[in-house]
Amino acid sequence: MEMIPKEVFKVLREKLGAGFDDFVLEKIVLIAGDTTCENLEIEDSDLRDELWREVNIIVNTVATIKFDERYDVALGTNTMGAKNVLHFAKKCLKLQNLVHVSTGGLFALSQSFFPGIITIYLLLFSAYVCGEKSGLVLEKVFEMGETLNGTLDLDIEHERKVVRKTLDDLRAQGVTKEFERTAMKELGLQRARHYGWPNTNAFTKAMGEMFIGLLRGDIPVTILCPTIITNTIREPFPGWAEGISHIDRFLIGYGKGKLLCILTDPALVLDLIPLDMVANAMVKGATFLRISDFGTLFYNFDF
């Protein structure tokens, strides 16, 4: 409920006045859980049974989006989390759609922005789940074991074993938490690049899509892949965003005249999409399968 007092709801709060809090409480029920665990770690069996009886639509936006996230964290959240949500969804008797939000594209700074620096070099690169490609990007789910560079040995269970063995070895050596964190970050990048992905985020999200494609069965699924999400363009008002993202640092540096040099391809298309357009696409995607005969819908979208 920490989002409710924030500015994004100011239009609705002004419209409803004193009735705003009661309106929210009527619409939202909070349930503690963890997508990295079986049954989303909902331990109350009565509550689980109620959800399985009554839930119509599930929207999964849970993810870690750091490019160099620890491999154990990214694999648990982006890959196994997608699998666990899918298994939970398959038990929902009235399910009309599972909406899985993946990623279309992102970018990162090669070095941090600091006040006073008059020249900042940036490296813009793709973090598409589909990898670094040009031309038409097909809207299709990765098949289990599919890689971007043709390597034939991708096996998600093996990746989990690599994580467990690496952690066991590090802890047996008595390394510091900082050393362990760095080692697990490097492991994620190494495994991603081995199979052709540019970073841990894109790699682990692609493996999450593989689970959905393999294990979906007959439940309806919509996969949405937005590109770089930026401030709202219309709703609830123009310009709102939660916090400062990578793209914001880039724009702030440029706007303040601190960013004088960009190391990138001048023909590069910077794929941006306003937050409210993403939210609208999620709502539309959640309802479309109810009136269609498709089993899986997949959308890449930008502005």
Please tell me whether the overall predicted TM-score, pTM, comes out greater than 0.75 for this model: yes
**In whole angstroms, what is the distance from residue 74 CA to residue 192 CA?**
11
Structure tokens at 172: 């047996």
CATH, domain 31-102+141-243+273-301, list 3.40.50.2000, 3.40.50.720, 3.40.50.1100, 3.40.640.10: 3.40.50.720
pLDDT of residue 294: 55
Mean pLDDT lowest among 17-26, 158-167, 171-180, 181-190: 17-26
What is the tens place of the pLDDT at every residue in 190-206?
999 999 999 999 999 99
> Which of 74, 53, 56, 57 has the alpha carbon at shortest distance from 65?
74
Tens of pLDDT, residues 91-129:
999 999 999 998 764 433 333 433 433 333 333 333 455
Q: Where are the domains of the chain?
A: 31-102+141-243+273-301
- Asked if residues 258 and 118 have their Cβ atoms less than 8 Å apart, the reply is yes
3-state secondary structure of 10: helix
